[in-house]
Every structure is written in C-alpha cells, then in structure tokens.
Amino acid sequence: MPTDQIGAVLMHEHLLCDFYRISDDLNRLLDDTELIATELGYLEATPVRTVVEMTSVGLGRNLKGLRDIALRTGLNVVAGCGWYRDPFLPQEVFETTSDGLADVLIAEIKEGAADSGVRPGIIGEIGAKRSPMSPAEERVLRAGGFAQLQTGVSIHTHASRSTVGIEQTKILIGIGVPPERIVIGHSDTIPDNRKEYWSQLLDMGVTLGFDTVKPEFPYEMGVRIDGLIWLAERGSLDQVVVSNDVCYRSHLRAFGGAGYPYCVTDFFDSLRQAGFGDQEFQTIFHDTPLRLLELP
C-alpha cells in the first residue's frame, strides 16, 4: 500500500467477526460482505481511505472475505493476525508453545495466510479478559511479541475495562518489542483512575487506543473527549489512535447504529467545538497510524 494513498485511518474496526458462537446472540455476528461493503460506502464522504481490521483467529477471521470487501469498496483494508482472548482461543493455542505460535504469525506476515494468501499488516488484536492474564493469553501475547521482533509490524492489544495493558506492555517491552510499535487497545474503557493509567502507559512509550468510540452511552463519549483534550494539553496527542470498534450489527447504519464514519464525523465535530482542528485530525487519524503501519 503506497503511503500517499493511506488517507485517514480507522485503526481498530471489525468488518467480519463472530461473537455469536460464544454469546448465541445474532446481533454479535458480522458475516455479510455485501452489507459491510455498503456500510463502508458511507466513508466516501470522509477522508478515511484505510481500515485496519482487527478480527483475529478465534473471533471469525475471514481473510478471503476481507479481500472481497477491499475490492468492492476500493478501500485499503489492513488485516490483523494472532489470537484473541479467553474464552475464544482455539485448541491449538493450548497445545503450542509461544515460539511455535510466533512461527505461524511470521509465516503469515511474510508469505501470506495458508487459506487465502493474504499477508496481514498488523499483529492483533491480541487480548486479555482481565488482569492477571491467563497462561494461554500470555502465551499468545509473547508469540505476538516474538513475531513483531522478526517482522517489524506493530502489535495491537485488547485491554478492555482493566489495567491489564500495564502487564501487556511490561511483557512486550521485556522481550524487546520497541514501545513505539505497541498499541494498548481500549484504553478509553478504564472505569477508574484513568489518567493515572494513561500516564503510566504514555511514560513507557506506547500508543493508547481510544478505539471504542460509539454513541450509545453519551457519558462515555464525554470521557473520551475529555481524555483527548487532556492528551493534547499534555503534549501526547501523537500517542493515541481513535477508532469505533464496530463489531455488532446494532453498530451498523442498516440496524440503526452510527456506522463506521462516526468517530471522524460526529465525534470529531465535538472535539472541534473543544478547540481541535485540522492539525489534530491529521495527527490522530493519519500521522500516528502511518507511523504504526509503516515498517521501520
């Protein structure tokens, strides 16, 4: 993907994913490539030209489907690789060492996934349900770290409503992963002591994922807006990426949701009212994603 064609980037989305097999809730199943292509069409009126798709193995990753969506829409779709978290981890995670799992990731990134030939451009999302991580979750995280060291691509974690991102960061940095190649996902979901948590991560040099920006809960949008203002005042706006994390049917416009454009339209309009402008948009949605997606 030529860097001059990257445009604005949504760094954490799901186009095709399957939470249904665990939840038994059809709302949590995205499996219709035609529907998703239509939903992505609403991005044509925005600067977004690249979508990073974070569905990992165990969560219904469908690389052939992603390729079809990219061809239908003309968007750059960057696929992820790795394994999600308990209880979504497949049996091979429990039967394979971190080194063995890393070999799978390295082969996919360098040669293409066996079922599609698609080469992922990022490692993730690599998850943990809570802190402390389970042994299998740590095994997967270490595998992602080892693969990062061999390929140079960035690694993006899932660290929702928990301070497990600190544990993830320490493990990854401990095995040699450069902090500037790490994104701690869902950092915007921490319920308490947010700024203390964010400060610890920022001081370790990683990038925060404010990547669950959806309008269902207005109070939480206020938390995210206040957090981004705080980051700007701190001089750390180049250490955050912002995305929607669309993953349910109810998030799509076809089902009454705000869809994929929300964080670059309505949400950023709220930031403009707080004093953000085109330069802040460029930093959040282009410059930092480009740094993370380019190979060093």
What is the percent of the chain with per-residue pLDDT over 90, rounded to a whole number?
A: 92
HSE-CB of 231 using CA atoms within 13 angstroms: 31
The residues spanned by each domain of the chain are: 3-293
Position 296 pLDDT exceeds 90: no
pLDDT tens-digit series, residues 140-182: 999 999 999 999 999 999 999 999 999 999 999 999 999 999 9
Alpha-carbon gap, residue 225 to 219, rounded angstroms: 10
Strands 17-18 and 29-30: antiparallel
CB atoms within 10 A of CB 170: 10
Q: What is the DSSP letter of 284?
A: I
CATH class of 3-293: alpha beta
Buried b (16+ CB within 10 A) or exposed e, 130-143: eeebeebbbbbbbb
**Would you say the pTM of this structure is higher than 0.85?**
yes
